[in-house]
Amino acid sequence: MRSGSYAKMTLYGMQPNQVPLRGLVVRIRFKRHRSLTAGIAFASALVAVASTLAPPASAVPGPEIEYTYDVMVRRHFDFPNNDALAYGFGVCDRVTQGVRYADVMGDVKRDVLPNDEQAANYVVSNAVGILCPTQISQLRDSAAGYVSPGG
């Protein structure tokens, strides 16, 4: 007789030479199954709680890095003095001062290559959207009714 069955028998007050009833063995196996299920449920709940308490990962680059990457790597623009960041902050300063959108776009098309409407819009919108997002509403107000010179 194995030691496991001996433990089962002594648990129910049986002697080693007595034969366990079939129902007792089934009941013991069911209890073991229930405890395994409860253990899995507890472990799952513990993992769920731990994952909600963990701080979310955030790997967002700083605005200066993001802007420089967008205008120098993702889309290649040639800026005066090869200083994209200073130029971007200059665009922010002009928008903050209340310069009209058409004038800002004209300056960008004159200073930055490529010098088409789409490229200038990309530079202006990225500069304001990334480097000075508090000025977005002012830029939108200034751009209301803007029609590109090309039509």
pLDDT single digits (tens) 46-98: 777 666 766 666 777 889 999 999 999 999 999 999 999 999 999 999 999 99
Closest CA to 147 of 116, 102, 112: 102
| Co-location of 120 and 139 in the same domain | yes
Same domain, 87 and 134: yes
Domain that holds residue 98: 63-143
- Say whether both 116 and 70 belong to one domain: yes
Assess whether pLDDT exceeds 70 at residue 42: yes
- Nearest Cα neighbor of 25 from 1, 43, 53, 47 is 1
- In the chain, the number of structural domains is 2
Distance (Å, rounded) from C-alpha 116 to C-alpha 106?
A: 10
Is 70 found in the same domain as 130? yes
Same domain, 39 and 67: no
**Is the residue at 98 inside a domain?**
yes
Residues 26 and 96 in one domain: no
Q: Does residue 41 lie within any of the structural domains?
A: yes
Does 38 score more than 90 pLDDT?
no
> Is residue 150 in a domain?
no
In a domain, 92, yes or no: yes
Residue 88 is assigned to a structural domain of this protein:
yes
- The verdict on 83 and 46 lying in the same domain is no
What pLDDT is attached to residue 133? 96
- DSSP characters over 72-86: IIIS--BPGGG-HHH
Residue 58 in any domain: the answer is no
Number of helical H runs and strand E runs in the chain: 7, 0
Asked if 77 and 107 sit in the same domain, the reply is yes
pTM for the model stands at: 0.60
